Amino acid sequence: MNNENNKLIQYDDGYLNRTPIFQFILLSCLFPLWGAAASLNDILITQFKSVFTLSDFASALVQSAFYGGYFLISIPASIVIRKTSYKTAILCGLLFYIVGCSLFFPASHMATYTMFLFAVFSIAIGLGFLETASNTYSTMLGPRDKSTLRLNISQTFYPIGAASGILLGKYLVFQDGDSLSAQMASMTPEQIHIFRLEMLQHTLEPYRVMIFVLIAVFILFLLTKYPKCKVKTVDTSKKNRTGIYETLKYLSKNGKFKKGILAEFLYVGMQVAIWSFTIRLALTLDHSINERMAADFMVMSFACFFIGKFVANFLMTKFSVNKVLVVYSVIGCMLILYISFVPSFTAVYAAVAMSILMGPCWATIYAETLKSVEEKYTETAGAILVMAIIGAACVPAIQGLVSDMLGSMQLSFIVNFFCFAYVGRYLYKKIQNISPESLNFQHSGLKLTTLGSDCASSKGYIVRWVEAPSNKLLTTAFEASLESVTVTCRLSVDSKIAGIAMEHRNPKVSEGRHRGQGGRQYMHLSLW
């Protein structure tokens, strides 16, 4: 009996009856890998600005190259997933990641900013594969109703990698002594040239470490067996497969999906912009510290990011996901105003505190947006959501340009206010638009939308349905908020749904009925 209960079962929508723990942990360990790469960009921005004498806008092109790679590769990555598997796409991503890290060696010898940007772009190609596959795979690797929680847990590993990347940069790239600009101020042109070449050699060291880690992860992932988590179809003929054109046409008409993309675009852009310029903000507000000392504030930022995710995961078990994030966005907007306009070094600590509020946003917006898409479009929808990461290529560049125009790194942080304000407005609108009519009963494409208005006031629900021909009454109870939850109720193979009702525990009853056809092993009751 225990063996039956422990057996891993994949449902027709790709989700599993339970989460395979080892595979999930190993998958979650991929998240620190792109966290480390992303945080090393913050190191490179500071290093390259001084070494190559760049403007704030030009230095931010590191992020543009990095996240531009994400944007370009996401759709090809989704095609690889559709034609093969999530695991294959992950292995491809790891290979490209290794190649990108290796390109830093010829880049350091060529000593040109363009070559470094190409190396960063190559790393991003690999990370585009990894994120496109891993984010969606994490949501699929277990029961549907826990998909958002799983992704938030996986994303909790991200700041570990991000902090590791900053520490590698602090001790292997940045050096002791005065800041780079202060040291070069007293040098001759010949001395500056030699000094720049020496500093560029230091950029190799973190990537040397990364290559060894990536090779080990690649081998481990290659040897581990993973479930496919792909949508099952009765007819797999070419006629019934969804092509890329059909998928894009469907997604272009999905209003909820498009709003989710814009929210993700602005959120990611804001997050990366704040992290990109935190070290620069510290150096600007206190000329007595050097790059290595300023890097400590990024270590603190990622520690806050890590803590923020745990706090958010706890709060989301007690309150509505969207309500939690709305409160986060309001506090975040106030902190950004403080960073921008208070002429004090405390603004740096406010920038650090922002990381607490940014923890749950990406994973939550991603998972909730993905739920608004039909299962057969999941792979491509996940890829397009990852493409929204292009916001990280745009917003930091805009902030850098604003900094150059205003001549103030501190005032340029106001760009992020408008981003967080939109995210907060988007989430607030989602709360406002929740209605009992948004309850959908998904079974063979049919909908049940007949719940009464009392439904919106309670989190406690009971689902009842009747099996035919036995007329056996089955019941499942659950706690949920209307914003986002899916309950999966498994039926016996030969059963038919004779009727279904949903009611409150409190004890007002609202119900709807539908006569279903055909034997299904499961059905979904979804609240959006």
Q: What is the mean pLDDT of the chain?
A: 75
Average pLDDT of the segment spanning 41-62: 83
Residue 462 neighbours by CB distance under 10 Å: 15
Identify the pLDDT of residue 143: 85
User: b/e per residue, 476-503, with b = 16+ CB within 10 A?
Assistant: eeeebbbbbbbbbbebeeebbbbbbbbb
Cis peptide before 32 (omega within 30 of 0): no
Mean pLDDT lowest among 50-54, 104-108, 165-169: 50-54
Output phi, psi for 109, to 5 deg.
Answer: -80, -35
**Tokens found for residue 141:** 């690797």
Distance, CA of 96 to CA of 130 (rounded, Å) = 10
Residue 3 neighbours by CB distance under 10 Å: 6
pTM, entire model: 0.66
- pLDDT (tens digit, 9 = 90+) per residue, 447-456? 233 233 233 3
**pLDDT of 251 higher than 60:** yes
Distance, CA of 181 to CA of 196 (rounded, Å) = 11
**Tokens found for residue 370:** 């993905």
Fold classified for 10-229+242-432? Growth Hormone; Chain: A; (1.20.1250)
Average pLDDT of the segment spanning 262-280: 90
- pLDDT (tens digit, 9 = 90+) per residue, 465-481? 444 444 444 444 444 33
Q: Which residue matches tokens 């993309």?
A: 261
Distance, CA of 75 to CA of 69 (rounded, Å) = 11
Q: What region does 481 belong to: left with phi over 0, alpha with psi -120 to 50, or beta?
A: beta
Identify the pLDDT of residue 191: 80
Mean pLDDT lowest among 316-325, 451-460, 481-490: 451-460
Identify the pLDDT of residue 508: 30
**pLDDT of 393 higher than 70:** yes
Q: Sorting pLDDT into bands at 50, 70 and 90, what band is 483?
A: very low
Distance, CA of 166 to CA of 47 (rounded, Å) = 13
Q: Sorting pLDDT into bands at 50, 70 and 90, what band is 90?
A: very high
Q: How far is C-alpha 23 from the geometric centre of its chain's CA atoms?
A: 19
**Contact between 179 and 291 (Cβ < 8 Å):** yes
Residue 296 neighbours by CB distance under 10 Å: 16
Do you know the residue count of the chain? 528
